[in-house]
Chain A
Amino acid sequence: MIRPHLRAIIVKELWAVFRDPRARLTLIVPPLIQLVLFGFATTLEVRNISVGVYNRDGGAWSQEVIQQIAASPNVARVVVLRDQAALTRAIDRQQVIAALRFDDGFSADVAAGRGGTIGAIYDGRRSNAAQIVAGYLSRIVGTVAADVRVSRPARRGGSIVTNWFNPNLDYLWFTMPSLVAIICIVSAMGVVTQSVARERELGTFDQLMVSPLRTHEILIGKMVAPVLIGTFIVTSYVIVIPTVFGVPLTGSVPALYVALFFYLLALTGIGMLISVLSSTQQQAFLGMFLVTVPAVLLSGYASPVENMPGWLQVIAQINPPTHFLKITEGVFLKGMTSTDVLANTWPLALIAAAALTAASLLFRSRME
């Protein structure tokens, strides 16, 4: 049975968040912007590239390679380079991201079965894009080489690559499920970090503390709004991502919601800690930034947790998005079953319990 006290503070907190039309807007617009930005701007593919070609060979096989490159959907332009100096200049001025050099007798060597060598120069200043382009180019060269082998008996066995769960390595399949985890940090934390700090700054905190409301009632009251907002946004994402962006949703959705609940509890718990420690809204805002940026970086979204040094991996384990990211990827792409989801949920419950306990202890002691 809920005491009227608790009901009153829940209603009050909901009003506080939803009454101001501007506040309502800031809850809905940023998630939409994020969806569009992540969907179209943070592409991991490299398109519209220019590749330079310095061809001293002029034979059939070099032409074949160049035509294949020009035909690639990722390549916008093939720039013909006259000499070595032009090649250097083209890379230097960023006209091309990569340049290929075919030496004299390349086609002859290929035709004779001695194997041809293509020189490739990449712009290391754009290392990430260059690596991806290098991948494209070697794949194209590999296809040509395969054609060569088909025309004569194969001498060596090649490897056949199959990408599981994301057969075409479509980057959207990777970013969209991650976005579900990341958007919760921004939206839910944004609301909860302000909640106590705002009362303290505006002077309503004392009024709250002299009322018979108990600490746990105040904390629960302040967590309802962010949890509802997080659930609402995730729900809209779960609908939009498969239908608009075509990312498969293969796992157990009810289990996703159970995990989401604990994930939001963990996030609001940490947000509440920040809020309790801040005396002004500005401090709370800065505190939120201090936590959310590392939280995203450590989550495994940008780079795999396994590649981090050991001590950072430990910190990553107490970072809620690390666990929830596994769950969203699993539920969207891997057909994760409810048992597997729940097995990944208990760390979230643990983090939530620890953060909320700390927040409620500090809540009392920070009064003085």
Chain B
Amino acid sequence: MSDTVASAHSIVKRFGDAAPALDKVSIDIVAGRMTGLVGPDGAGKTTLIRILAGLIDPDAGEASVFGNPATNTDRSMIGYMPQRFGLYEDLTVLENLNLYAALRGLPKEEKSASFKKLMEFTDLASFQERLAGKLSGGMKQKLGLACAMVRAPKLLLLDEPAVGVDPVSRRELWAMVKKLAGDGIGVLWSTAYLDEAEKCDTVYLLNEGALLYGGPPTQLTDRIADRIIRIAVPQAGRRRILRSALDNVSIADGTVQGDSLRLMLKDGAAQPSAKALGADANAPITPARPRFEDAFIDLLGGGPPGTSKLAEGYREIEASEAPAIDARGLTKRFGDFTAAKDIAFSVGRGQVFGLLGPNGAGKSTTFKMLCGLLTPSEGSGSVAGFNLRTARADARQSLGYMAQKFSLYGNLSVKQNLDFFAGAYGLDGREARAAIERSIEIFHLQKYLKDNSGGLPLGYKQRLALACAVMHEPPVLFLDEPTSGVDPIVRREFWTHINGLVERGVTVLVTTHFMEEAEYCDRATLIYRGRQIATGTPDELKAKAGKEDATMDDAFIALVEEADRLRDAA
């Protein structure tokens, strides 16, 4: 029998005059099961968790925990782990635990047993004296979890525990929490990673404050079970074929998966022939397993068409002998610490190259050296043939840059941002006006022109950032975690543009810890502890995972574990 520990009923919450952050949302958290709260950034996940934790009151509806209203219940039985976790970075691991034990009124006689169990559980025993601020991202999350668990709660509210954590730690964290649920705790796990949703017992899918689905994840993916197909394509033509496939009337959505395309048929549509999709007539088409993301996109009404207006108006980048991006023995040291060592690769015109790796591994350092934000300690780099040491200004003129975090001017309007970036890249007069008008049209920015860009919905911020980065039609694009947190439709649209630009000859360097995104790369390199541990096409990397039908996540974990083994052996 199921035992509901917490529930929300028809919750409505508004902040100011904006659209409601939560609009009649109802969920149940059942003891002993993993309940997933899934949705892109800004969907309302955090608001709902804060209401369940009794931190804010809903405008309408009821939230109850252990049978009492959420604001008036036994809070010592709730373990809450906020998104920016409540650890004190200047205290050690043990001091943090002690603090939380005291705050939660853990009886002294239970303390040693509880700590011992948590230390074993989180594997942090050997780091007890380390400052929390010096832990890796994954270890911080484990400590945050341990602090939330210090007095065996009955309800665990986890707000995006896996964000920014590398796949290895993500898996460990998941296993830990799963075990807790097995012990009869009710767990709410919120996430923007849709692949995590598939592993939950029950999933609630939020989008823009509305509950799109609630129930077992398989029930949702079953709806689209026979609509997912995989078609093998030659590596060179995959972007062109994806474009024509997405423009086909029977296709709802599609992505690149290494040397094949993954397509979703529209509901009730017959499967088109390989030729109709733009592929070779005898290209093999096989059914594929549906994913939660496919189901989400289906709920949202399918992805965008395959042709990018941005690419249509873009200039053709002229061919050149020199590689578009060239890294030669790039090394960066900060004091004694080597952030990146001997990074070398070269990317030809019209290619997508990926820098993969966990946070803090050195991919951002490499990225920053190549776009001229950091001067390498050793080695050299060039962009579009311009050496970063000797021709910095020319190199910068030839690249478009999109930062991880929204980094346009939030208190300027959309139009003022466009004006500024047009001018900053040397566009003037009529040329600037034309580029700005084109961007407004392509990215549908008309209705937001006078609004502060900081207040835009996430998807529009993303569009504006891309618009500003490509207004001067650069031959090289640098994208730093370009689509983290956005909904899958916006991500599709984004990659449609990127794929289109690449067909025009634009070269793209992308960093991501989002392994799905790595599939779009022609080649990628995995950076771990400041070194390149593997480089190759997505399929080559996946082959190194040593198992059938491996995902990029599997490849990542296998390669990182191997690197650790070699390191320990040495």
Contacts and interface: CB of A to CB of B under 8 A. Distances in A.
Interface in B392-408: 393, 396-397, 399, 401, 403, 405-408
B396 A4 contact: no
Contacts of A204: 407-409
A60 to B, nearest CB: 76
A139 interface: no
23 contacts: A4-B422, A4-B423, A5-B425, A8-B421, A8-B423, A8-B424, A9-B420, A11-B419, A11-B423, A12-B419, A12-B423, A19-B413, A19-B416, A202-B407, A203-B403, A203-B407, A204-B409, A207-B407, A207-B408, A209-B372, A209-B373, A210-B371, A210-B396
Interface residues of B, number: 34
B412 interface: yes
B495 to A, nearest CB: 22
A73 B401 CA distance: 71
Interface residues of A, number: 26
Nearest to B478: A210
Contact of A212 (B397, B403, B405): B397
A7 interface: yes
B186 to A, nearest CB: 37
A16 B393 contact: no
A193 to B, nearest CB: 17
A298 B167 CA distance: 59
A20 B410 CA distance: 11
A8 B410 contact: no
A202 B419 CA distance: 20
Interface in A205-232: 206-214
Contacts of A15: 412, 416
A284 to B, nearest CB: 17
B451 to A, nearest CB: 12
B432 interface: yes
A367 interface: yes
A4 B374 contact: no
Interface of B: 368, 371-375, 393, 396-397, 399, 401, 403, 405-413, 416, 419-428, 432, 478
A306 interface: no
B427 A4 contact: yes
Interface of A: 3-5, 7-9, 11-12, 15-16, 19-20, 202-204, 206-214, 367-368
A92 to B, nearest CB: 52
B411 A16 contact: yes
B430 to A, nearest CB: 12
Contacts of B412: 12, 15-16, 19
Given A8-B423, A11-B419, A206 B403 contact: yes
Given A5-B426, A207-B401, A210-B373, A11 B420 contact: yes
Given A212-B424, A212-B426, A368-B375, A206 B432 contact: no
A191 to B, nearest CB: 14
Contacts of A209: 372-373
Given A4-B426, A20-B411, A210-B478, A12 B416 contact: yes
A208 B373 CA distance: 10
Nearest to A203: B407
Nearest to B375: A368
Given A206-B373, A368-B374, A12 B409 contact: yes
Contacts of B478: 210
Contact of B393 (A7, A8, A12, A214): A214
B487 to A, nearest CB: 22
A211 B411 contact: no
A19 B397 CA distance: 29
Nearest to B422: A8
Contacts of B410: 202
Contacts of B393: 212, 214
Contacts of A208: 424
A262 to B, nearest CB: 28
Given A15-B416, A206-B368, 12 more contacts: A4-B422, A4-B427, A4-B432, A9-B420, A11-B419, A12-B409, A203-B405, A203-B406, A204-B407, A206-B407, A212-B393, A367-B373
A11 B375 CA distance: 30
A19 B413 CA distance: 9
A209 B478 CA distance: 13
Given A8-B419, A207-B401, A213-B424, A367 B411 contact: no
A111 to B, nearest CB: 80
A78 to B, nearest CB: 61
Contacts of A5: 423-426
B372 A210 contact: yes
Nearest to A23: B411
A147 to B, nearest CB: 70
Nearest to A218: B424
Nearest to B393: A212
B425 A212 contact: yes
Contacts of B428: 4
Contacts of B432: 4
Contacts of B425: 5, 211-212
- In the complex, which of the residues A3, A12, A16, A213 has the most CB atoms of chain B within 10 Å of its own CB atom? A12
A202 B408 CA distance: 9
Contacts of B424: 5, 8-9, 208, 211-213
Interface centre among B412, B413, B419, B420 (most CB of A within 10 A): B420
Nearest to B394: A212
Contacts of B411: 16, 19-20
Contacts of A202: 407, 410
B407 A211 contact: no
A5 B420 CA distance: 8
A367 B401 CA distance: 17
A368 B397 CA distance: 20
B53 to A, nearest CB: 29
B426 A210 contact: no
Nearest to A13: B420
A68 to B, nearest CB: 64
A27 to B, nearest CB: 15
Contacts of A213: 424
A64 B491 CA distance: 95
Interchain residue pairs A-B with the least CB separation, the first 8: A8-B423, A4-B428, A203-B407, A12-B420, A210-B401, A212-B397, A211-B424, A212-B396
A367 to B, nearest CB: 6
A203 B422 CA distance: 19
Contacts of A9: 420, 423-424
A210 B428 CA distance: 19
A215 to B, nearest CB: 10
Contacts of B426: 3-5, 212
Contacts of A214: 393
A214 B368 CA distance: 18
Contacts of B423: 4-5, 7-9, 11-12
Contacts of A210: 371-373, 396, 399, 401, 478
B362 to A, nearest CB: 15
A4 B374 CA distance: 26
A8 B397 contact: no
A212 B405 CA distance: 21
A305 to B, nearest CB: 41
A86 B341 CA distance: 86
